[in-house]
Homo-oligomer: A and B are copies of this chain.
Amino acid sequence: MSVQSVNRKSRFLAACAGQPVDTVPIWLMRQAGRYLPEYQATRRRAGDFLTLCTTPELAVEVTLQPVHRLGVDAAILFSDILLPLRAMGMPLTFTDEGPRLSPLDSAAAIDALRVLEPDALPEVLETVRLLRRELTDVVPLIGFAGAPFTLLTYAIEGQTGKSFVRSKRLLYAEPELAHRLLGKLTDSLIAHLTGQAKAGAQALQLFDSWVGVLSTEDYAVFGAPYVERVLSALRPLGVPLIYFPLGGLSLLPQVGKLSADVISVDWRQPLSLAQKLLSSQQGLQGNLEPLLLLGPLAQLEARVKRVLDDAPRRRYIFNLGHGLTPEIPPAHVEALVEMVHRLGQRPAHE
């Protein structure tokens, strides 16, 4: 594929595959979200967050909003990493303080969890199918799930962890039970991500949002092996696999041995340093500090330029180092996309 034929529709997947691109592709974690007034409007119509996630027409609507407004190079399915836990048998609600589940507190509770099949979560798969149709000739669609250890923390804490005491008690005091839970989560995630890809998702991202609380020694036992099981099982689907180990700088040497195509890097360290710890076969995604979007545009542009200068020439996707937050002005997000497309242009001979 020559660089001339690469455009908005194809540059994200081209970059994932290490092919030449006309300019650096960009999408943004939590690009569909509360910072957008049109999202707020749909959210109000939905009534509650869970209804928004599980009503295909509404989930499609909020997925497409940033694609149209921002001109990003990929759409990401609007869903939630906790929906698979709900489908496995854990009642889920969303409060103003965050998600709430009845925490698993016994071997029996873990044994009672259902392992998902690829056709579980039909409303999410329907959203994917509708989106893929809407997005033909626009941009590719990314599906996603939480990584096994991250889902373990929610299942055990019953909410977003703080000290992760319950989760780590399981790892250290009942390791066999921890492995049994991780196994069931892994099998369910493989099924759900396979379902997403078969329904039309053209890339898959695994969010390991809480893996940063694990030491390197514990990641080697409770983290990496399960992530690799997911990645290996998804490999035959033929879609690019992206892994985001948030806060996991100390884990990058192990992440470099995983079979992910692209590693999403948080904002804490320069991309060039992260790359040294990873495999030369892995592409990078990231890693602007999202809250720079609260500051003036001239400063934002200077920092975007430094990220781009520091990024690899090939197999690179611009993103934030973490998700967009409600306080960020949409006009600054629009400006960011324009900056990346302008400053990221690659000469045709590259």
Interface residues of A, Cβ cutoff 8 Å to B: 163-165, 168-169, 172-173, 212, 214-218, 247, 249-250, 267-270, 273, 289, 291-292, 294-296, 299, 303, 306, 321, 325, 327
Pairwise interchain contact A212-B165, C-beta atoms closer than 8 A: no
Residues in chain B near residue A291, CB distance under 8 A: 164-165, 168-169, 172
* Distance from A273 Cβ to chain B, minimum over Cβ atoms (Å): 7
Pairwise interchain contact B165-A325, C-beta atoms closer than 8 A: yes
Residues in chain B near residue A172, CB distance under 8 A: 291-292, 294-295, 299
Q: How far is the CA of A270 from the CA of B165 in the complex (A)?
A: 21
Pairwise interchain contact A173-B295, C-beta atoms closer than 8 A: yes
Pairwise interchain contact B268-A216, C-beta atoms closer than 8 A: yes
Pairwise interchain contact B215-A163, C-beta atoms closer than 8 A: no
Q: Considering only CB atoms, which chain B residue lies closest to A165 in the complex? A: B327
Please name 16 pairs of A and B residues whose Cβ atoms are closer than 8 Å in the assembled complex, sorted by A. Answer: A164-B291, A165-B294, A165-B327, A168-B291, A169-B291, A169-B294, A172-B291, A172-B294, A173-B294, A173-B296, A212-B268, A215-B267, A215-B289, A249-B249, A249-B250, A249-B268
Pairwise interchain contact B169-A216, C-beta atoms closer than 8 A: no
Pairwise interchain contact A325-B163, C-beta atoms closer than 8 A: yes
